[in-house]
């Protein structure tokens, strides 16, 4: 578009806070020399590297695909609208209010399109064996049901949320990154703050982690994904958050006992709780009864 309309644009335009020298960018060599082109290439390389890095984590890959659609489509539409607004404009121009509505609609559609384009998640392996003899097990009668509830606080999550809130405020005050960047920072801030207090529930449907301040956001681990449970003095080595990592997922609120579930895909789910022994015995009791009945 810069090449097509270069004769009708000011010599220097600012699109989403990026300066473009239109006379130079009208040629391929000139466009490649623009700082924005280098940033785009680095961003693209980072997405590809991340996608390959998390090859074994379909949930993370799906998020990366949706994010790439959001960044590329929303950024393209925003830049195109702004450039068209500057065609044959003698001086500075104010953006029409309808631009924002189009950008928001495009961003939402891009996320949905990316989510669909990523395709369905592959089926997870199913565990069918009863827990091993060394695992703590609570004997459950045929009519008894599993129910366990606890919660955990994380001061580290609050600290991270405070830092991100400061970055968001700085981005707003300096107009950095456009509304898309500010919106992403704000959402990440809320997500980090919400993870400061979580709630674990074990019942007949599986093991569910909810964000106490955003209960609509939750993640459930069904029993067919669990091999056995155990109580540990500390979490297995690795990185544990609500989204997947190579070692697993969960909530670790510092040092201390954790409920650790061995998953069917050779990873772990962990959750910090002082009642880890009771929770592990309850999960193993439920698994033993279910799998002995179906054996």
Query: Is the Cβ–Cβ distance between 146 and 204 less than 8 Å?
Result: yes
Tokens of 99: 């631009």
Q: What is the pLDDT along the chain (295 residues), one digit of tens a residue?
A: 878 887 787 777 777 667 788 778 777 788 788 887 888 888 888 888 988 888 888 888 888 899 899 888 888 888 888 888 888 877 666 778 888 899 889 999 999 999 999 988 888 889 999 999 999 998 888 888 888 999 988 888 889 889 999 988 888 887 666 677 788 888 889 888 888 889 999 998 999 999 888 887 889 999 999 999 999 999 988 888 888 888 999 988 878 899 999 999 999 999 999 999 999 999 999 999 988 877 5
Question: What is the reported pTM?
Answer: 0.72
* Residue spans of alpha helices (H) in the chain: 2-5, 22-25, 28-32, 35-53, 58-86, 98-117, 155-174, 178-194, 276-294
Report the C-alpha gap between 99 and 222 in whole angstroms: 44
Report the C-alpha gap between 25 and 20 in whole angstroms: 7
Tokens of 130: 């009863």
């Amino acid at each position: 578009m810069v090449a097509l309309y270069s004769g009708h644009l000011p010599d220097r335009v600012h699109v989403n806070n990026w300066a473009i020298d239109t006379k130079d960018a009208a040629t391929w060599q000139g466009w490649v020399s623009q700082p924005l082109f280098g940033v785009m290439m680095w961003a693209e390389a980072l997405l590809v590297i991340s996608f390959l890095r998390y090859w074994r984590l379909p949930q993370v890959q799906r998020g990366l695909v949706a994010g790439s659609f959001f960044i590329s489509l929303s950024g393209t539409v925003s830049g195109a609208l702004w450039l068209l607004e500057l065609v044959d404009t003698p001086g500075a121009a104010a953006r029409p209010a309808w631009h924002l509505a189009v950008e928001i609609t495009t961003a939402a559609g891009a996320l949905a399109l990316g989510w669909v384009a990523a395709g369905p998640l592959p089926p997870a392996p199913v565990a069918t064996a009863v827990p091993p003899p060394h695992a703590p097990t609570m004997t459950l009668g045929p009519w008894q049901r599993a129910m366990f509830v606890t919660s955990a606080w994380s001061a580290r999550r609050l600290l991270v949320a405070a830092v991100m809130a400061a970055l968001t405020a700085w981005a707003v005050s300096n107009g950095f990154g456009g509304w898309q960047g500010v919106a992403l920072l704000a959402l990440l801030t809320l997500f980090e703050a919400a993870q400061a207090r979580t709630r674990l529930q074990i019942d007949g449907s599986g093991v569910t982690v909810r964000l106490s301040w955003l209960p609509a956001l939750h993640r459930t681990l069904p029993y067919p994904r669990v091999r056995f449970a155990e109580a540990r003095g500390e979490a297995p080595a690795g990185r544990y958050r609500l989204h997947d990592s190579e070692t697993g997922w969960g909530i670790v609120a510092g040092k201390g006992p954790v409920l650790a579930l061995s998953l069917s895909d050779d990873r772990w789910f962990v959750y910090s709780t002082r009642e880890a022994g009771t929770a592990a015995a309850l999960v193993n009791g439920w698994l033993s009864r279910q799998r002995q009945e179906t054996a």
